[in-house]
Amino acid sequence: MNNQSMPLSAALADRRNRLIEKWLADVLRTYPESTTRFLSQEKDPFRNPVGHALKESLAALFDGLIQPVDLKSLALALDGIVRIRAVQDFTAGQAVAFPFMLKRIIREEFAADMSRYSRELADLEIRIDEFALLAFDLFMKCREQIYESKVSEIKRRTFILEKGCK
């Protein structure tokens, strides 16, 4: 099969590693420079669990996006990224912006082939949008759990203080 008749999914698979590397680099740039350097350079998954989780999860998400799988089946890989970003100092928009980064990367990568892949790119972008909405839902659940934990801790402390004052 020549490049002219290659479907977008095959073209994405051919460029998989490069696209995932660009995506990871974009996600890492959302962190402070020193953190970005550490997350990208430290290869030991025990010394760098965040960098390892991001790399593994982004690869799994990319594969799931270009294959015909149900987006909900990607929830585990997505959850790995969202949980990390939910406890960090990101706004909701910043935390779940990573799917949109992939849209831009793919558009840049296939800029010369836009007319050939226009329908397939539109379908892929719809999947990425659905994926981003799922990420937002997961993010909100994580933040809700964090706030519930904080409220429980405040109630516990208040109870202990009240009990101590009697």
CA distance 132 to 121: 16
Number of domains in the chain: 1
Cα 112 versus chain centre, distance: 26
pLDDT tens digit string along 32-71?
A: 888 888 888 888 888 888 889 999 999 999 998 888 777 7
Q: How many angstroms separate the CA atoms of 8 and 66, rounded?
A: 9
Q: Which pTM was predicted?
A: 0.82
Who's near 83: CB < 8 A, 6+ residues apart? 138, 142
Residue 144 lies in domain: 3-165
Per-residue pLDDT tens digits for 67-94? 877 777 788 888 889 988 988 888 889 9
Q: Which residues contact 3 (CB under 8 A, 6 or more apart)?
A: 11
